[in-house]
Chains A and B, each alone.
Chain A
Amino acid sequence: GNSVTQMEGPVTLSEEAFLTINCTYTATGYPSLFWYVQYPGEGLQLLLKATKADDKGSNKGFEATYRKETTSFHLEKGSVQVSDSAVYFCALSDRGAAGNKLTFGGGTRVLVKP
């Protein structure tokens, strides 16, 4: 079956530091890949996505590139802010299957200190 593995947190950074959250996946077929973010007390929000190999998703200064050869989709941001403190989830969707069944990683908590 499908699975997503992401680095465990918490990740603690200072403001303006570089952030990387590793994500690798196992899937049958060719999944679409996503990063979702959950701010305290809120539901998840889609941060970015990529639907095929070598696609780069980007949003709000965050980027992730779909690497089929390494089955990875690492999230990066060059200069984090306190407002980026949240839990980040990597997820995949099997494009060969009907519907919207997402498989999520365990989440990585990021804490950015001023």
Chain B
Amino acid sequence: KAGVTQTPRYLIKTRGQQVTLSCSPISGHRSVSWYQQTPGQGLQFLFEYFSETQRNKGNFPGRFSGRQFSNSRSEMNVSTLELGDSALYLCASSPGQAGELFFGEGSRLTVL
């Protein structure tokens, strides 16, 4: 069974640009969550989608948004990038809501 796939793995952007990250969950998993990982703040929850609906949302500004498609694939978008948005963005899928998450390897975003 294929794992969670995130693309792209690495990307470099400049301040003010926007970026879209993609996540393909494990087949059959309907829940997709996104986390931001930085050395200073650790792992912070961004949002969770289930059946194309946002089920949970973290404390991030509106520049961070996401969506989920009917095939459970998810994208997150960050607009008007800031230097502080440099991070590893992790996607995780889950078959239910018991907190057992299966993570992808992440998309490492560098903002210059």
Chain A interface (Cβ < 8 Å from any Cβ of B): 32, 34, 36, 41-46, 49, 51, 89, 91, 93, 97-107
User: A42 to chain B: which residues have CB within 8 Å?
Assistant: 105
> Given A97-B56, A99-B55, A100-B92, 4 other A-B contacts at CB below 8 A?
A49-B100, A93-B98, A101-B56, A105-B42
Given known A-B contacts A103-B45, A104-B42, A34 and B99 have beta carbons under 8 A apart: yes
The smallest beta-carbon distance between A50 and chain B, in angstroms, is 11
A105–B42 CA distance with the chains assembled, in angstroms: 8
Are A44 and B42 in contact, CB atoms less than 8 angstroms apart?
A: no
The smallest beta-carbon distance between B1 and chain A, in angstroms, is 15
Are B105 and A99 in contact, CB atoms less than 8 angstroms apart?
A: no
Given known A-B contacts A44-B103, A93-B99, A102 and B50 have beta carbons under 8 A apart: no
A43–B90 CA distance with the chains assembled, in angstroms: 7
Are B42 and A100 in contact, CB atoms less than 8 angstroms apart?
A: no
User: B35 to chain A: which residues have CB within 8 Å?
Assistant: 104
Please give the number of chain B residues whose Cβ is less than 8 angstroms from any Cβ of chain A in the complex.
25
What 10 pairs across the A-B complex have the smallest Cβ distances? A93-B99, A43-B103, A104-B43, A99-B55, A44-B103, A101-B56, A99-B56, A106-B42, A43-B105, A32-B99
A97–B58 CA distance with the chains assembled, in angstroms: 14
Chain B interface (Cβ < 8 Å from any Cβ of A): 4, 31, 33, 35, 42-43, 45, 48, 50, 55-56, 58, 90, 92, 94, 97-106
A99–B54 CA distance with the chains assembled, in angstroms: 10
Write 21 A-B pairs (CB below 8 A) sorted by A numbering: A34-B99, A36-B101, A36-B103, A42-B105, A44-B90, A44-B103, A46-B100, A46-B102, A49-B99, A98-B56, A99-B50, A100-B31, A100-B33, A100-B48, A100-B97, A101-B48, A102-B33, A102-B45, A102-B99, A106-B42, A107-B42
